[in-house]
Amino acid sequence: MIPLFKVFMPESVMEPLQQTLMSGYIGQGVKVDAFEAKLSEWIGCPRVLTLNSCTSAIQLALRLANVSFGDEVISTPMTCTATNEPILAFGAKIVWADVNPKTGNLDPLDIERKINKKTKAIIMVHWGGYPCEIDAINTIAQRHGLKVIEDAAHAFGSTYKGKKIGNHSDFICFSFQAIKHLTTVDGGALICKNAEDHKRGKLLRWYGINREGSRKDFRCEEDVVEYGYKFHMNDVAATIGLEQIKQVDGIIRRHRGNAVFYDEELKKIKGIEITLREENRLSSYWIYTLLTDKKQALMGAMNEQNIQVSSVHARNDQHTMFKDFKADLPGVTEFTRRMVCIPVGWWVTDEDRKKVVEAIKNF
């Protein structure tokens, strides 16, 4: 079976991991600081907060955006439920905007149509790693005084207008969960554009307590001003992250190389359409999505050839938990009807990718 996802774990983690595990300190400490510094350097943005997941990053971003009961948040159904469940946790209402059926990414025009006085924030998701219309969405948000959150769980290393994702909006959320480009087993990061949000986020990721501040005694903290969460990363996860980040450029290069090969080969096949590519942005291809009118039959044929394919995420608006938020979303319907994700990652060899193309051709 050529799998759709695979965990990357270099042998080189073993020695530093053992050292950290036996060091007598495994909570949030020097390894977290070191990993945070490396991430900042790699992304090119100083305000990085490492966390225990991307789901936590989204929840923290919504909190920093001051989303609360009765507010509205505009979001996409084309994502993992992790993007949208945190909105419910604040008692806020989800307003679905439609997607471009050629990318799976939010349509800025539909976002603007859905804005009203209750709207507080917009969450975009870079489907498969392909960056959204970030500038257009931010321009709309600024016009209406809204905060913009990028769920960049798929898009570690993707670029938009010459800069890595992580440098464009108020808040950017990354995932270092098991099958992402860079894994810390579980983990995530939140990047804040603004220094005030970064400072507050640093407190809220650990109960609202200032870890760098003075203490009443060895254990007891000074006054805690507002409640926070237990969202921090630990030194064990960060130790893995420090080894992973040394190799992540190579990982992303291989995902992209396989995607270029598919783009070239698949556009020659009748009945297969590749998703939109624009020159000002580059995906890191966490997944590779193709479009076809014969989705179910193609998926069946690929599985028979031992090639794992999937839709990866079910449209969120059809889940019972989101039943109160209905919308007419023709772009989502069109995209979900036609999209198929095929294996593209670092584990897909030259031979594997030829086999994938052959299977599609023969179909």
Ligand X SMILES: Cc1ncc(COP(=O)(O)O)c(C=O)c1O
Q: Residue 112 or 151: which CB sits closer to ligand X?
A: 151
82 counts as binding ligand X under rule CB under 6 A: yes
- Measured N-to-C along each axis, helices 350-362 and 248-266 cross at an angle, to the nearest 10 degrees, of 30
175 counts as binding ligand X under rule CB under 6 A: yes
95-114 positions binding ligand X, by CB under 6 A: none
181 counts as binding ligand X under rule CB under 6 A: no
Range in contact with ligand X (rule: CB under 6 A) among 30-38, 52-60, 138-146, 347-355:
52-60
CB of 189 to ligand X, least distance (A): 10
80 counts as binding ligand X under rule CB under 6 A: yes
What span, in angstroms and rounded, lies between the C-alpha atoms of 56 and 162?
A: 28
Sketch the per residue contact string, 271 through 290, with ligand X: x for CB under 6 A, - otherwise: --------------------
CB of 125 to ligand X, least distance (A): 5
CB of 252 to ligand X, least distance (A): 17
Of 166, 215, 128, 179, which is closest to residue 50 (Cα–Cα)? 166
Q: Residue 79 or 234: which CB sits closer to ligand X?
A: 79
CB of 286 to ligand X, least distance (A): 8
Could you tell me which residues come within 8 angstroms of residue 130 by beta carbon, excluding any fewer than 6 positions away?
A: 103, 104, 105, 155, 158, 275, 276, 281, 283
Range in contact with ligand X (rule: CB under 6 A) among 63-71, 149-157, 232-240, 339-347:
149-157
59 counts as binding ligand X under rule CB under 6 A: no
111-130 positions binding ligand X, by CB under 6 A: 125
CB of 175 to ligand X, least distance (A): 3
359 counts as binding ligand X under rule CB under 6 A: no
What span, in angstroms and rounded, lies between the C-alpha atoms of 192 and 65?
A: 11
Triad 55, 241, 210: Cα angle to 5°: 60
153 counts as binding ligand X under rule CB under 6 A: yes
Q: Residue 82 or 291: which CB sits closer to ligand X?
A: 82
Residues that bind ligand X (CB under 6 A): 53-55, 79-80, 82-83, 125, 151, 153-154, 175, 177, 188
